[in-house]
Amino acid sequence: MKEKTRLAVAVAGIAFADILIFVQMGFEASLYTSATKANEALDGDLIVVDKQFQSLSTTKSFTRDRLYQVLSYEGVQSVSYVYLAMGQWRNSQTGIDRAIMIWGIEPDGASFKLPELKQNASELRLLNSALFDLASRPEYGNVAELLKKQGQIEATLNRHDISVSGLFTLGTSFTADGNVIVGDSTFLKLFSQRQPYEIDVGLIKLKPGINPISIRTQLSNALPKDIKIFTHEEFVAAERHYIESGGTIGFIFGLGVIVGFIVGIVIVYQILYTDVANHLPEYATLKAMGYGDKYFVGVLMQEALLLATFGFIPGYLVSLGIYQIAYVVTLLPIGMTLNRAINVFTLTVIMCTLSGAIALRKLQSADPADVF
């Protein structure tokens, strides 16, 4: 407390390291959350996809006949299917086309667990009718604002005129900046090269009380091996695994956390080492008075823990602001969580403790003879 400037510099350095770690962890979590949001929203106890499935963004089509075969099994209540493909949405204000994810669904079948979709499902029975994702990026135009004023707007999707009659909320991801849901007939019109029997995702609803894993195993053993069948939880986990196993993005964010951790160790070490060096005669005096190494270890560890606490608080608060700015700019689901805050604080304590342990070597060199 005597040298407040040095304390402020130390706190700022630790806060900077914490901010770096918070940002890397936040964006990594945002990546996984956004990547699996569509998987989680699909309304099926079992999910059927092509045998080469790795991710919804790279999924391949398979024949719809597989779903009809599933209907013959006891325990299956209903089946439905989903088409998906990237298309082009034209901003009516700027005239610029932008890639958008297009989902084609059966209007009367299960598709997404979205309340807005259930309310507007009847609209999708009409050809050239669509629902727009309220959480899409603003580059697609002020669709939501116009829709609230007019009740319905005209738009251009894949060079076809469509009518947007409702909104839903799904959100952006690292692969799609926006989403549109249309009926299956409209989808096949937008993508005329697609055959009706070539579906991308099959959804199976089971009767109440049926074990999804048991039926999944039964269907996987009996049906041809050109498809994969997942439980809903397994389907979400498979998407996350695809992102994690890709290595590049996860490695970059993980490297950022490591760099922040190392930066923090260096900063705290420099502060503690300088402090020990400046007060070496005082430490030597304490040794001459009979204080042992355990006492000095305690003093240095207390200083390290105080620095960790003082540095974490501003780092946490600034990170909250950065998260909010990042959400407004990117619309990605990034936000603070209790677990992340606890993890970063734990890393901060470890970071400062390691720095204190390294600086301790200088303290051990304090000789009572230095007093004279």
Average pLDDT along the chain: 86
**pLDDT, greater one: 361 or 21:** 21
pLDDT in tens, 105-132: 998 888 899 888 888 888 898 999 999 9
Of 183, 207, 185, 205, give the one whose Cα is nearest residue 196.
Answer: 185
Q: What is the pLDDT of residue 335?
A: 85
Task: Decide: 240 and 233 in contact? Cβ < 8 Å.
Answer: no
Residue 217, pLDDT > 70, answer: yes
pTM: 0.76
- Greatest Cα pair distance in the chain: 95
Domain boundaries, the chain: 4-34+247-371, 52-225
Q: pLDDT of 269-303, one tens digit each?
A: 887 777 777 777 777 788 788 887 788 788 888 88
User: Measured between alpha carbons, how far is residue 349 from residues 17, 20, 89, 314 in Å?
Assistant: 12, 16, 49, 15
Residue 192: count of CB within 10 angstroms of its CB: 8
What's the rounded Cα separation, in Å, for the pair 264 and 20?
Answer: 10
Listed residue (201, 241, 215, 184) closest to 47, CA to CA: 201
Q: CA–CA separation, 197 vs 183, rounded Å? A: 15
Reported residue count of the chain is: 372
CA–CA separation, 64 and 84 (whole Å): 14
- For residue 293, count other CB atoms closer than 10 A to its CB: 11
125-155 pLDDT, tens digit per residue, is 899 999 999 888 888 988 888 888 888 899 9
Whether 246 has a pLDDT exceeding 70, the answer reads: no
The answer on pLDDT for 233 being more than 90 is: yes
Return d(Cα 139, Cα 132) in angstroms, integer.
13
Question: Helix, strand or coil for residue 125?
Answer: helix
Could you tell me the pLDDT band of residue 368, with boundaries at 50, 70 and 90? low
Q: What confidence category does residue 365 fall into, taking pLDDT thresholds of 50, 70 and 90?
A: low
